[in-house]
Chain A
């Protein structure tokens, strides 16, 4: 699945502008740039936003679906669906379910960084053939 960024800020009047993910502006995203979606979650925040796992250079960040348009609708074969809490659903690659994956990746953990790079490369070229 690939998306293109259409905004880096949710409109202040949006009912979903909850700041629940801790930010109003996703200034690591670039408008017009295409991203491979590495995973997605639903029902994790208070407002039921769909959150996409977007690859940053060295780690992965999450951003709400309303900042993107879908340009390639095919889901990745690397995704595994797992329930989180009572209402949450993840479609994540297996590695993302490793304990403290996101925290450790943001600390440039060498092992997870290698996994992340390899996974990202595979997912980005998944539908190239």
Chain B
């Protein structure tokens, strides 16, 4: 027994000793891991602190100062996808708010040279495509607005283009439906609005449009409309043709056809405008296709990158011939690829819901057209009609609700007041009266409504200009030019004080000599245009 016990002890002792000899002591490893954890924590604390500071700055009265902070962070975090994505989302949102996306493209270009990670390259690709297509669109609008020979057609083509233009914002499908309503009203009660509605719905369809594009018949119809020279007929026929080109992914054919015909003898003067719209739409299509091709290569090298999947989805939403259905499919596929990654699933759910909010069409909202202010008083000596100020604008938009004494400045006394400045009386009328139900004698109707129709069309063009370009800022765009009503705007329409601008369209002179422009408030973040007001400047 004794020798057996001794043998066992010796055996276990040898085994234990051998185990001790082959297993390193754990304490140093714990120390190493603990030090590593501390470093990660410190780095995390460090960038989170900087991130919070940048966010605070973004909410301050000088949000532009946050951009370089975000850029410093993005440079530091360029090699780590998750924190990079977190900061990048806030960075581009702020840049959008400050209208600084062109600047972000330059920053990302430089960053991509130093840190060519897939997500940096993907972000660059998306930003460049977005900035370039916006520039092309603004250039198109400038060209259309310069067409003084065909202002109505130019305005309606701009609206058709805007029906196709993506904002990437909540409720935009509904906005497009309202825009389609307005265009249909302008074109007349009996307008065939199917093409207009197809264009307004195109991007937001829950599934790709499988309808036959019927391109040949649409092309023939457009040729016939061009021969009549009636602008409403041309707009309607072109809306059908454009919708068919997009549905069939045949924009290139459309551009070729129009370009070949516009130089023919006796060609319609409308063709160059149509060619311009089609060529710009095709340019956008190609630019986004190029960005998607670049992105596809990046996604091959980093198939699990969430940021690249989101970028892919956004680019598809923005591509003229794609839209919500394709954008959502990208996210769904990415979610299925990583079903057990809670972070991925959460992000995919969030972004799919956001896409759905862009595309949501909760029923057609027939919006009231905005009021116009018409001067009914005696014309002042210099033909300028003063709006606001002392004038009592009963039932007017809230912009004119202020009391005069609320902003009477010191040192602005009566010595400056003109001796006999007439105080105009203003009243509110609907901007776009509904088309008459009963059709009067055509000649008389046309004669009576021609100037009015011109004004309506011009209003549409001006409104489209404001929506697309932000117009000419008059107040709120610089800190030294604040808006009096900004607190009320924030209370009634949301957003932050710094987001709101007071803007103006260009002036339009109607055939009856009336001159007017539209003033409105514009939220630079949500692109919301509120309280538009037609300002009559000169009476006939």
Residues of A within 8 A of B (CB): 9, 12, 15, 17-28, 41, 44-46, 51, 57-59, 61-62, 84-85, 88, 90, 94-95, 98-104, 106-115, 118
B474 touches A61 (CB 8 A): yes
B387 touches A108 (CB 8 A): yes
A62 and B478 in contact (CB under 8 A), knowing A22-B524, A115-B412?
A: yes
Q: Is B423 an interface residue (CB 8 A)?
A: yes
What residues of B have a CB within 8 angstroms of the CB of A112 in the complex?
Answer: 412
* Chain B, Cβ-Cβ closest to A113: B386
B99 touches A19 (CB 8 A): yes
A102 and B469 in contact (CB under 8 A), knowing A18-B100, A20-B99?
A: no
A27 touches B135 (CB 8 A): no
A24 touches B474 (CB 8 A): no
What residues of B have a CB within 8 angstroms of the CB of A59 in the complex?
Answer: 474
* Chain B, Cβ-Cβ closest to A95: B412
Q: Please give the distance in Å from A54's CB to the nearest CB on chain B.
A: 11
* Chain B, Cβ-Cβ closest to A82: B480
Q: Is B133 an interface residue (CB 8 A)?
A: no
What residues of B have a CB within 8 angstroms of the CB of A114 in the complex?
Answer: 416-418, 421
Q: Is B325 an interface residue (CB 8 A)?
A: no
A100 touches B484 (CB 8 A): yes
What residues of B have a CB within 8 angstroms of the CB of A19 in the complex?
Answer: 98-102
A99 touches B386 (CB 8 A): no
Q: Please give the distance in Å from B45's CB to the nearest CB on chain A.
A: 29
- Could you mark each residue 484-523 of chain B with 1 if its beta carbon is under 8 Å from any beta carbon of chain A, else 0? 1000000000000000011110110000000000010000
Q: Please give the distance in Å from A18's CB to the nearest CB on chain B.
A: 6
A58 touches B384 (CB 8 A): yes
* Chain A, Cβ-Cβ closest to B99: A19
User: CA A92 – CA B490 in complex, angstroms?
Assistant: 29
Closest 4 A-B residue pairs measured CB to CB? A46-B64, A19-B99, A107-B388, A103-B475
A88 touches B480 (CB 8 A): yes
Q: Please give the distance in Å from B136's CB to the nearest CB on chain A.
A: 10
Q: Is B399 an interface residue (CB 8 A)?
A: yes
B99 touches A61 (CB 8 A): no
What residues of A have a CB within 8 angstroms of the CB of B503 in the complex?
Answer: 22
Q: Please give the distance in Å from A103's CB to the nearest CB on chain B.
A: 4
* Chain A, Cβ-Cβ closest to B95: A19
Q: Please give the distance in Å from B413's CB to the nearest CB on chain A.
A: 9
27 inter-chain pairs at a CB distance below 8 angstroms, sorted by A residue, are: A12-B135, A18-B103, A20-B100, A22-B501, A22-B524, A23-B469, A24-B138, A25-B142, A26-B472, A46-B64, A57-B537, A58-B537, A62-B481, A90-B480, A100-B407, A101-B409, A106-B502, A106-B504, A108-B384, A108-B385, A109-B389, A111-B412, A111-B416, A113-B386, A113-B389, A115-B412, A115-B416
B472 touches A110 (CB 8 A): no
A103 touches B482 (CB 8 A): yes
A23 touches B416 (CB 8 A): no
User: CA A20 – CA B161 in complex, angstroms?
Assistant: 25
User: CA A103 – CA B488 in complex, angstroms?
Assistant: 15
What residues of B have a CB within 8 angstroms of the CB of A18 in the complex?
Answer: 99-100, 102-103
A27 touches B100 (CB 8 A): no
What residues of A have a CB within 8 angstroms of the CB of B388 in the complex?
Answer: 104, 107-109
B474 touches A106 (CB 8 A): yes
User: CA A104 – CA B402 in complex, angstroms?
Assistant: 11
What residues of B have a CB within 8 angstroms of the CB of A45 in the complex?
Answer: 64, 478
Q: Is B470 an interface residue (CB 8 A)?
A: yes
Q: Is B357 an interface residue (CB 8 A)?
A: no
What residues of B have a CB within 8 angstroms of the CB of A113 in the complex?
Answer: 384, 386, 389
Cβ < 8 Å to A, chain B residues 439-493: 469-484
B478 touches A21 (CB 8 A): yes
